[in-house]
Amino acid sequence: HRHLTGIEGLQPHEIVFLLDEADGWVAANRTRAISDKRLGGLTLINAFFENSTRTLLSFEIAGKRLGADVINMHAAQSSVKKGETLIDTAMTLNAMRADVIVIRHMSSGAVRLIAGKVDCPVLNAGDGQHEHPTQALLDALTIRRRRGTIAGQRVVICGDILHSRVARSNILALTALAAEVRVCAPATLMPEGIERMGVTPFTDFDTALEGADVVMMLRVQNERMAGGFIPSNREFHLRYGLTLKRLERAGPDALVMHPGPMNRGVEIDSAVADHARSAITEQVEMGVAVRMACLDVLTRRSRGVAGWA
């Protein structure tokens, strides 16, 4: 089976194919009346070992809109709490004959590990600091629909780059599609050698914002600090918070994005989050279409339909 464990390993034409497939679901999604139940008879298990609002619900909605039977496993209510290992949990899901499994886990690499153990396609819904591929796809789709193209767009990703799987997957997707990517963070929250990913690092947000077409803000992931330096909310807002005044440095019609969950008043002011230039709710909407496309494309082979382009 082909899995979606990350953007890494995808060819640019495969990313574009998934975006085109997702784009095809947007209009139908707005009517909520989707008669095409192509996943009918399939069982989708969402196994979430970490909290989620957007990703879990949009995978559930995506599966149901296409006719799949959707089962959600929340780790907090599962036998994981009784000491069951990740592999044993995966083997249990496999024995129930799931047709597709979606996994969120706090450990980088956990999803790839499970993908190697089960007999169905596995999709990564975010693993530790590694990747969150469907988030990057929904972000790319939002940019493409709003700006008309991704190639040549100056995208500034600002916040806790070090701990962010969203930043990593977005860097991989956006550079593959020829965007100009700038990353901005305090030195303590910037991965060493990030230039090797084809991006330009900045520690000064005002400089990074010059001429930006897209400004993508990320929250500080206090839960992943492991004893490291945690900036105070006030200090972070002063140097890296996106305010209306700061946004003036970006291009005149720059798009504001945030994967959520937002910490209003820390990395982004409410006036910016709720501004006409903000695409934050559109990102959530694109999330359903992207997850429909991914579930469809990845199960095509098992449904006897031609697979990837």
Q: Which residues bind ligand CP (CB under 6 A)?
A: 52-55, 126, 135, 259-261
Closest distance to ligand CP from the beta carbon of 135 (Å) = 5
Rg for the chain (alpha carbons), in Å? 19
Assess contact for 301 and 1: CB atoms under 8 A: yes
135 is in an annotated binding site: yes
203 is in an annotated binding site: no
| Per-residue DSSP letter, 104 | E
145 is in an annotated binding site: no
CA-wise closest residue to 285 among 23, 1, 100: 23
Nearer to ligand CP, 54 or 246 (CB): 54
Give the tokens for residue 248: 């003036």
Nearer to ligand CP, 75 or 180 (CB): 75
Which value, to the nearest 10 degrees, does the dihedral of the CA atoms of residues 121, 24, 155, 53 take? -60
- Which residue type is seen at 144? R
77 is in an annotated binding site: no
CA-wise closest residue to 295 among 69, 121, 131: 121
Nearer to ligand CP, 128 or 180 (CB): 128
Nearer to ligand CP, 52 or 233 (CB): 52
Closest distance to ligand CP from the beta carbon of 179 (Å) = 20
Closest distance to ligand CP from the beta carbon of 258 (Å) = 9
54 is in an annotated binding site: yes
37 is in an annotated binding site: no
Nearer to ligand CP, 78 or 221 (CB): 221
* Position with the least CB separation from ligand CP: 55
CA-wise closest residue to 208 among 170, 242, 171, 178: 242
Which value, to the nearest 10 degrees, does the dihedral of the CA atoms of residues 87, 88, 94, 96 take? -160
Closest distance to ligand CP from the beta carbon of 216 (Å) = 12
Known binding-site residues for L-aspartate equal: 82, 165, 219
